[in-house]
Chain A
Amino acid sequence: EAEVAQSPRYKITEKSQAVAFWCDPISGHATLYWYRQILGQGPELLVQFQDESVVDDSQLPKDRFSAERLKGVDSTLKIQPAELGDSAMYLCASSSNQQGPYGYTFGSGTRLTVV
């Protein structure tokens, strides 16, 4: 079964450092999502891509977070500088245009700890 790949699985970084996460969606999936899940809460959308274009980044803290999907395939989410409150699980999901939310496939996530 096709999977969404994310790396690294775990990341520990010091406050004020830069950190980056990578996501490789299922082949052919045009839509890619980055969600953040703080401990004890549900996933919250950070950014949605349609191919290489950002569709929704209204909840992305743009002063420190950036996301790109240059060729419309894999994607990188960056935080600079990291803050203690950024400690969370960062989830990537993808879906095809036809499936919409019915066809979300999530990756295993990257657990970030900021110390």
Chain B
Amino acid sequence: AQRVTQPEKLLSVFKGAPVELKCNYSYSGSPELFWYVQYSRQRLQLLLRHISRESIKGFTADLNKGETSFHLKKPFAQEEDSAMYYCALSSFGNTPLVFGKGTRLSVIA
């Protein structure tokens, strides 16, 4: 069965400090991994996906198949990064996303 685990419900960091939001997954095949973000009073939106190997708003995430992890990182947190972050997994094609429970990131000025 597919499962996504985000061990931290809340992560508080000071502005300018590095951020790492943890995500571990359970899936026997080759997963597609994603990070979604939800800012206050806004819709859930895609932040980045592992196959693109892109950096969005300074965030990056590397898929580590050995550790079955897809941690989200940013070297210097900004106040506008405060939001709920969800890690999600899809098995292949058009299969639905499976989400983790989310981590609330709070960046303190």
Among B17-60, those with CB < 8 Å from A are: 32, 34, 43-46, 49
Contact with B along A73-115 (1 / 0, CB 8 A): 0000000000000000001000101001110101111000000
What residue of chain A has the Cβ atom nearest to residue B38's Cβ?
A: A106
What residue of chain B has the Cβ atom nearest to residue A3's Cβ?
A: B43
Query: Which B residues are CB-close (under 8 A) to A100?
Result: 90, 93-95
Query: How many A-B contacts are there with CB distance less than 8 Å?
Result: 51
Assess the B94–A106 pair: CB atoms within 8 A: no
Assess the B97–A107 pair: CB atoms within 8 A: no
Instruction: Tell me the complex Cα distance, A41–B100, Å.
Output: 8
Assess the A97–B94 pair: CB atoms within 8 A: yes
Assess the A42–B101 pair: CB atoms within 8 A: yes
Query: Which B residues are CB-close (under 8 A) to A108?
Result: 43
B66 CB within 8 Å of chain A = no
Assess the B46–A104 pair: CB atoms within 8 A: yes
Assess the A45–B96 pair: CB atoms within 8 A: yes
Query: Which A residues are CB-close (under 8 A) to B90?
Result: 100-101
Assess the A43–B46 pair: CB atoms within 8 A: no
Query: Which A residues are CB-close (under 8 A) to B95?
Result: 100-101
A40 CB within 8 Å of chain B = yes
Query: Which A residues are CB-close (under 8 A) to B49?
Result: 102
What residue of chain A has the Cβ atom nearest to residue B9's Cβ?
A: A40
Task: Please pick, from A40, A48, A55, A91, the residue contacting B44 in the complex, using a CB distance under 8 A.
Answer: A91
A14 CB within 8 Å of chain B = no
Listed A/B pairs (12) with beta-carbon separation below 8 Å:
A40-B9, A40-B101, A41-B101, A42-B86, A45-B96, A100-B90, A100-B94, A101-B32, A102-B46, A102-B49, A104-B97, A108-B43
Besides the known contacts A33-B96, A55-B94, 9 further A-B residue pairs in the complex with CB atoms under 8 A apart: A40-B9, A42-B86, A43-B86, A50-B94, A100-B93, A100-B94, A101-B95, A101-B97, A102-B46
